[in-house]
Structures are given as structure tokens and as C-alpha cells.
Amino acid sequence: MGFSDKVRHIYQKELESVEQQGIFKVERFIHSAQDAEIEVEFPTGSNLKKVINMCANNYLGLSSHPDVVKAAHEGLDTRGYGMSSVRFICGTQDIHKKLEQKVTEFLGTEDTILFPSCMDANAGVFEAILTKDDVMISDRLVHASIIDGIRLCSAMHDTFKHSNMKHLEKKLQLHSDKRLKVVITDGVFSMDGDTAKLDEMVDLCEKYDAMLFVDDSHASGFIGKTGRGTHEKYGVLGKIDIITTTFGKALGGASGGCVSGRKELVEMCRQKARPYLFSNTIAPVVVSGVLKVLEILSKSTERRDKLEANTEYWRKGLTDAGFVLQAGDTPIVPVMLFNAKLAQDFSRDLYDEGIYAIGFFFPVVPNGKARIRTQISAGHEKHHLDKALAAFIKIGKKYDILGKSKKEIIEQYGL
Amino acid sequence: MEDIRDIVLEYVIEEYLEDEDEELTYNTPLISGGIVDSFSMVSLKRFLETKYKISIPDEKASPEAFDTVNSITELVKEYVK
């Protein structure tokens, strides 16, 4: 055993340092199913508190939908619990293939391959399709899982300023000598809730013969008129070469992800992507649930329409009340407070009022851009949003920030 | 020849600063100061190699050598004929 007191001390010091920096993460235990209202034990050992959930990725309110739960039960009964194998040995069922076909149809791509998570999809895809002769050019605010995938790939990596198309074009010119070029972006950026300008990016990629990669995890199921994703919103269906997305957010919220796109790229992943080759795929119970989710979404846009209406209502309510919001039209609605301590205090006070929304501050977001990130769901009813809004206004008054500009809030609380 | 230092400084400002109010000098720590991440060194190296028609060996392109405009300039001067 090599875990001596000396070794233990090193880790204890490191954990203390994390705590001192104010970035020590603590879990809150939820004693109910994921929903618009949940029962939370926080702090640990305290009585359960019923709160309105404003921080889940449960955009379509499908995480505990009875039809999805029923389909999952049926999957469990007919296909069992686990596969005990990776896909290419004896870990592929008919329903895995069916889900790949259904996702392909839903996203309007050529082919799809499932991964245990979108984190795994992003970690595996670049290494599978690129070599050291190629270049990856990514938006500077892409998700951490993409950065991990980029690190695992031998191709050259460069970045462009967030959503800055002129800068992207310069980079495409700089790397014009590379064998293959991939431009990499999130569809919806999870911290600010803004969307990538996919129409302009498609044009640039066509002009400079580059492939376009989009992680649509915060979009699949609800962005665009029929919820296909950011590519639908920008009118570029069929023009994105690689889409990765998750089933752990709007599409049922359990787990799993995929790479969907050009069939040769998907086949390269099937041959070479390590998280696919060396890990079990999504469990049958989850596959059955996601199939039901796609069936629900393909029949009707009712849920994404309700989400859109809820988002408009929420944004308008906060704006009219005098909060500073990050501009956008997605269900990620960041209420800007700028100061980290104010964000922490505000979140704590919201919880006391029965509203569960988390404060984000450096290093999760840039210094001086602390905020409460609210996330709207089709599972929210008007009375949920009204109660949450009343709590925001009450606490906004307490800290005297309503109607104040960014500059005034920073003058009052500092950065 | 234009002053290498000023060309590097101008490139770094345009490439990495998001806020026009930020100030950058020849000695501002770029990598250790969090302005340039180690990923982005790639484009800076490519820019220098293209601009001055030189080839900087990877082992010379260390985070220390790329940490200030002054140190980058010294590195470039080693290879410019």
C-alpha cells in the first residue's frame, strides 16, 4: 500500500486549496424524480425542501414523462438490463441500430453512431477522423469535452475568437495548406445561451474547403421550428458534416450521446473511436426511452413550442423587472450579477425562497461575469415561472440591483 | 525591416485581447498571465514562421520562450537571417 500519510497530506492540501479558492463542489441530494418541482436535501442531513427547479437541462420536461418511463420499462423487460460487452463483440442489439437510424432521420444527417455519452463522443471523434497533417480550428468557448477530444488528437489545433467570423476566416486562410480542416463549435453555448452563426460558418467552410463540427447538446430536440437543432434554426440542415449531441439533456435526460453526420466519418468512428471500441454502449433501458422521446418529438412540436413560449415569458418578466440578462433566445437565460459573492448570496437567497438556481462565477465563467444561470423547461407551468419571478424580484430589491445597468451594479459591488 | 517587437505586439493584441481597454506591453506575461493559452501558441508560431519565412523547432517553442513579446522577439531573431 503506497497511500502513506505523506501522500494523503498532498491530496488534503490540494483539496484545501480548492476549498480556499471557493470552487469546492458540493452535491445536493434530490429525493424525487427530475421535474419542474423537486425535493432537495441541502445541506446534507437537513429536512427535505420542495423547490422549483430552474437549473436542469430538462428542456422538454421529458426526464420523467410517463410514456418515456413506460417505454424504458418495456425495454428492460424485453432486452434486459445490461450488455456485458462492447458493441463489436456482442454488445449491439436491434434497438441500438434502430436508435442510430432514428437519430439520423431526426437530425437530417447521413448516419449516426452511439456513444456512452456525448463527453465520450467528443473525446473520441477527432482522433478517429484526423491525423497530424490536419488542423482543428475551434471557437474559444467550446465545451470542456471538446477540448479534451482535441487534446487527444494529433492534428494541429488553433482557435478563433468567440463567434467572430472575420477571425475564423483569417484562421482558415492561415491553415489553408493543411490536408484536412475542421471548424469546431458548440451549437448553443451553455454558459451564455447564445447560438453559433451556422449559416455564416457553413459559407466559410465551403469557401475554404473545411468540414464543420457542431456540438448540439444544448439544442437537439427544441432549437429550430421542429426542434432538430441549431442547424435547423440557421437553415443549414444537411450541411453540417459532424454533429455530436447528448441524450442526457432534452432527449430524455438519462445518458448517452452520438456522432451523427457524413457516413464516412461515422464509419471512421466505428473503426477507430476509442470510447466506442473500449466501452459498453448505452444500456437497453435508456435506448428504449430515447426511442420513445424521438417518437414523441417527431409527432408534435407541442413541447418545444411550449418551451419557446415559456422562455419568452421568463425573459420578458426578468427584463421588465429590471435585471440585466445575457442577450439571446434560447432557454438558457443568464441573469448577470457580475460579482461572484453577489451571485453566491443571490443563489442562496433564492433557495430560501424555494427556487433552485445556481450562481456561476470564475473560473467557470470569466472573471467579472458572475451570473445566475436559469434554464427554462417545457415542464414549467406559468405558476412556476411566476413564483420564481416573484422571488427574483424580492431578492433583486434586497440587493438594490433592479433597473441598474451593468456599470452601476459593478460600481455598487465591484468585480 | 519593421521592428519585430512591434509586429509581434500588434499580432498578440489583435489575436488575443477581447477587450479594447486591456493593455499589453512588451513584458506582459502572456501564457503565465492567462492571456494566451498553450493551445493558441500554435497560431502564434505559425504566424511568425509564415511572416519571417523561418522554422522554429518545436522544442524551442516552449511556454517560457513564448511568455512575453520580448522573449518571442529574441526567439525569432535567432532564426531570422
* pLDDT tens string B21-79: 678 889 999 888 878 877 778 888 888 998 899 999 988 888 889 999 999 999 999 99
* Strand arrangement, sheet containing A135-139: A111-115, A257-261, A242-246, A211-215, A181-186, A135-139, A156-160
- Name which of A306, A292, A153, A150 is nearest A227 in CA terms: A306
Inter-chain residue contact B39 with A157, CB threshold 8 Å? yes
Does B1 score more than 60 pLDDT? no
Q: Domain locations in chain A?
A: 46-62+302-413, 80-299
Inter-chain residue contact A156 with B40, CB threshold 8 Å? no
> Which pLDDT does position B21 carry in this prediction?
65
3-state secondary structure of A194: coil
Query: Is A190 an annotated catalytic residue?
Result: yes
Distance from CA of B27 to the nearest CA of A (A): 22
Distance CA A345, CA A359 (A): 8
* Three-class DSSP labels, A274-336: HHHHCCCCCCHHHHHHHHHHHHHHHHCCHHHHHHHHHHHHHHHHHHHHCCCECCCCCCEEEEE
Distance from CA of B3 to the nearest CA of A (A): 22
Query: Is A218 an annotated catalytic residue?
Result: yes
Residue of A nearest to B41 (CA): A158
DSSP A55: S
H helix or E strand, kind and range, residue A359: strand A358-360
Burial class (CB in 10 A: 0-12, 13-18, 19+), B30: buried
- Name which of A211, A221, A197 is nearest A107 in CA terms: A221
3-state secondary structure of A244: strand
Distance CA A368, CA A337 (A): 9
Of A249, A292, A306, A384, which is the active-site residue?
A: A249
CB B74 within 8 A of CB B49: no
Please name the residue that has the C-alpha cell 462492447.
Answer: A86
Distance from CA of B20 to the nearest CA of A (A): 14
3-state secondary structure of A247: coil
Low-confidence ranges of chain A (pLDDT < 70): none
Tens of pLDDT, residues A341-392: 999 999 999 999 999 999 998 878 888 899 999 999 999 999 999 999 999 9
Tens of pLDDT, residues B7-22: 999 888 888 887 666 7
- Name which of A306, A304, A326 is nearest A315 in CA terms: A326
Cell numbers that stand for A225 in this block: 421550428
Amino acid at B80: V
Residue of B nearest to A367 (CA): B34
> Which pLDDT does position B40 carry in this prediction?
76
Residues forming beta bridges with residue A50, ordered by sequence position? A39
Give backbone dihedrals phi and psi of B8, rounded to 5 degrees, phi first: -65, -45
Residue B43: its chain A contacts at CB < 8 A?
A: 158-159, 171, 174
Q: Which of B11, B46, B58 to mutate to test the interface with A (most CBs of A within 10 A)?
A: B46
Residue B42: its chain A contacts at CB < 8 A?
A: 156-158
Inter-chain residue contact B43 with A150, CB threshold 8 Å? no
Give backbone dihedrals phi and psi of A345, rounded to 5 degrees, phi first: -65, -40
Distance CA A58, CA A42 (A): 21
Distance CA A274, CA A344 (A): 39
Cβ pairs bridging A and B (under 8 Å): 21
Residues forming beta bridges with residue A338, ordered by sequence position? A370
Report the CATH number of the A46-62+302-413 domain. Answer: 3.90.1150.10
Q: Domain locations in chain B?
A: 4-79
Report the CATH number of the B4-79 domain. Answer: 1.10.1200.10
- Name which of A34, A121, A98, A80 is nearest A295 in CA terms: A98
Residue of A nearest to B36 (CA): A159
Of A218, A231, A384, A404, which is the active-site residue?
A: A218
Residue A163: its chain B contacts at CB < 8 A?
A: none
Q: CA dihedral defined by B51, B52, B57, B58, rounded to 10 degrees?
A: -20
- Show which residues on chain B lie within 8 Å of chain A, measured between beta carbons: 18, 37, 39-40, 42-43, 46-47, 50
Cell numbers that stand for A230 in this block: 441549431
Burial class (CB in 10 A: 0-12, 13-18, 19+), A58: buried
Inter-chain residue contact B50 with A175, CB threshold 8 Å? no
Amino acid at A313: Y
> Which pLDDT does position A51 carry in this prediction?
98
Distance from CA of A367 to the nearest CA of B (A): 12
Q: Give yes or no for A274 touching B (CB within 8 A).
A: no
Task: Show Cβ contacts of residue B39 under 8 Å, excluding neighbours closer than 6 positions.
Answer: A150, A157, A158, A159
Cα of first residue to Cα of last residue in chain A, in angstroms, is 47
Q: Give yes or no for A148 touching B (CB within 8 A).
A: no
Burial class (CB in 10 A: 0-12, 13-18, 19+), A180: middle
CB B65 within 8 A of CB B41: no
> Which pLDDT does position A366 carry in this prediction?
81
Complex confidence, ipTM: 0.78
The verdict on domain A80-299 having CATH code 3.10.20.340 is: no
Q: How many residues does chain B have?
A: 81
Distance CA A56, CA A343 (A): 18
